[in-house]
Structure formats: structure tokens, C-alpha cells
Amino acid sequence: MNCQKKSVSFLNSHNKPRQKQSIMLQRIQTLFLAIAVISGALLFYFPIADYYHELYGNYKLFVTGLQCMDPDPKISTSIWFTAPLYLITGATVLLGVISIFLYKNRITQLRLVAFNILLNIVLIVLLFIFYSGKIEELTQIIPTYRIGVFLPLVSLVFLVLANRFIRKDEALVKSTDRLR
């Protein structure tokens, strides 16, 4: 009889629905943050712009640096030339990953996402205003933009969406706390 009680209690313990979930990675803002992180990480692999001219040379702008595709480069830049791009892109990816795992602390998550949005805006401004103009001035070549230039924009859109849904979650939690 004692054995039957144990088996029944064992069955009953597995049939009970969970009261509180410990992992809430299935929220929609987590998906938005993951897409923003992936698009930021892809920026390390895809070129931002091509600078090609038969006389002046062939260059590709990556976050990691300006690469010359010619055997004899006419212009060389140091690693420090694109260091701000590299650091800001790395920071946006890192902040996105940290934000994904801060789902229990929505206020901190909201602040990190807002700061990440600011960093993405700075990255976009640097790409379009500073680096595009500076490299065009150095090479005398008009850039042809590649997929890498759109990735910060994709990241920015999904960060704004994540921010919106985190705010909605926080408002929902506050409204349920008021009802208690």
C-alpha cells in the first residue's frame, strides 16, 4: 500500500501545471533582441561598401578595417582608423546578448536596450557621414554600398520593437500589481 501511494504521488507531481516559469526566453522581445544581435554580428563578416575605380584602386570597407583588393595599395590605413566602428559594433552585440538574459529585470533591460539604440544611431551616423565621406575623400572613389550598410538599420528597427514590447510588459506587470 505504501508503494501505491508513492506511485500515485509521483504521477500527481508530474501532472500538475507549473505555477511559475523560470525561463522566459519565449517572449517576442527576446526574438527581436536575438535578430538585432545576429544582424550586429553579421556586420563583422559582410562588407559595408565597395570603392572601385580602374585607376584609383579597389577597396572594401569592413567594420574591421579598410581592405585593399589590389596587389599594390595606393592608400593604407591603420587598424585605429576603423576602431570606433569595431568597438561600437562589438558593444551593440554584447549589450544585445546581455539584454536577452535580463528578462527578469525589465527596467534594466529597458535601459540597456535604450543605450543600445543610441549606440546603433551613433554607428549609423559614423558609417554614413564620417567614414563614407572620409574614404571617398582619400580614394577619390564613390562608394557602392553593400549589405553591411543595412545591417545596423535592421538592428535598430528590431531594438526599437524590443523596446516597445518590454515597455508593454512592464505596463502589464504594473497594472496587475495595482489590482492586488
120: containing domain: 29-179
Measure the N-to-C terminal CA separation of the chain; round to a whole number of Å: 44
Residue ranges in the chain modelled with pLDDT below 70: 1-26, 179-180
Q: Note whether residue 83 is domain-resident.
A: yes
Instruction: Give the residue from 27, 162, 33 showing the smallest Cα distance to 97.
Output: 33
Q: What is the pLDDT of residues 112-153, one digit of tens each?
A: 999 999 999 999 999 988 998 888 888 888 999 999 999 999
Number of domains the chain is built from: 1
- With b for 16 or more beta-carbon neighbours within 10 A and e for fewer, the 150-174 pattern comes to ebbebbbebbebbbebbeebeeeee
Q: Note whether residue 35 is domain-resident.
A: yes
Residue 95, classed as helix, strand or coil, is helix
The Cα-based distances of 147 to 44, 47, 142, 144, 154 in angstroms read: 12, 7, 17, 10, 11
Q: Note whether residue 48 is domain-resident.
A: yes
The cell for 49 is 561598401
Query: What's residue 179's pLDDT?
Result: 65
The cell for 15 is 501532472
Q: Note whether residue 170 is domain-resident.
A: yes
Beta bridge partners of 50: 60, 144
| C-alpha span between 84 and 78 (Å, rounded) | 12
Q: Note whether residue 13 is domain-resident.
A: no
Q: Note whether residue 85 is domain-resident.
A: yes
Query: What's residue 122's pLDDT?
Result: 96
Looking at residue 165, which CATH number applies to its domain?
A: 1.20.140.150
Q: Note whether residue 23 is domain-resident.
A: no
Beta bridge partners of 49: 61, 145
Query: What's residue 6's pLDDT?
Result: 46
Q: Note whether residue 137 is domain-resident.
A: yes
Query: What's residue 172's pLDDT?
Result: 86
The shares of helix, strand and coil residues in the chain, as percent rounded to the nearest 5, are 65, 10, 25
